Amino acid sequence: MRVEPKGSWWQRRLVGPIRQQLVQGISPDKIALTLALGLILGVFPILGAGFALCGLAAWGLKLNQPLIQAVGTAAYPLQLAMLLPFYRAGEALWGLPPMALSIPEMVGRFFADVPRFLSEYGMTGARGIAVWALAAPWGLAGLYYGLRGVTRRAAARFSP
C-alpha cells in the first residue's frame, strides 16, 4: 500500500524543501538567491533554455540544484506569458515593425525545420534575450531583497 505525502503540490515541492534547507543550516539569503534566480532564469525568452541556465547558475554559485530547478519549472507558465512581450519589446527597442508571431506556430516551425526556423526567428529571439538581459538584473534584485525578508522570517520560525 502506497502512502501519499501530506500537503498540496506546492507544500511538497517548494515549501517543504525550503523548510528542509533552513533546518539543515543553509542561509536564508542563499535560499532567497536560489528562489530569485530560479524565477528570473525560468522566464528566459527561449523555450527550454531556462532549465540549463538554472543548472549552470546552481552549479556555479553552489546553490541548491533541486530547489532552483523546481522554481524554474514552476515559472514555465510565466515564461509562456512573457515570450511575446519580450519579443515585442525587442522589436520596439530596435525600431522594427511588429512581426507576425504565434507561439504554437513557432514551435511547429522549429520542429519542422530547425535551420529555417533559426533564419526566420533567430534575430527575434536575440532581441527578446536583449530585453530580458536589461530587465533581469532589476527583477533579480527586487525578488532577492523581497524574498530575503521572507526567508529570514521563515528561518527564525523554523530554527530549533
Note down the domain range covering 16: 9-158
Who has greater pLDDT, 102 or 20? 102
Residue 84 is assigned to a structural domain of this protein: yes
Read off the pLDDT band of 103 (50, 70, 90).
confident
Residue 70 is assigned to a structural domain of this protein: yes
Residue 3 is assigned to a structural domain of this protein: no
- Contact between residue 18 and residue 151 where contact means Cβ atoms under 8 Å apart: yes
- Whether 120 shows a pLDDT value over 90: the answer reads no
- Prediction pTM value: 0.83
- Between CA 46 and CA 18 the distance in angstroms is 27
Residue 2 is assigned to a structural domain of this protein: no
**Digit-coded pLDDT (tens) for 57-91:** 999 999 989 889 989 999 999 999 999 999 999 99
Residue 71 is assigned to a structural domain of this protein: yes
Residue 91 is assigned to a structural domain of this protein: yes
- Count of domains forming the chain: 1
Residue 1 is assigned to a structural domain of this protein: no
The single-letter DSSP state of residue 159 is -
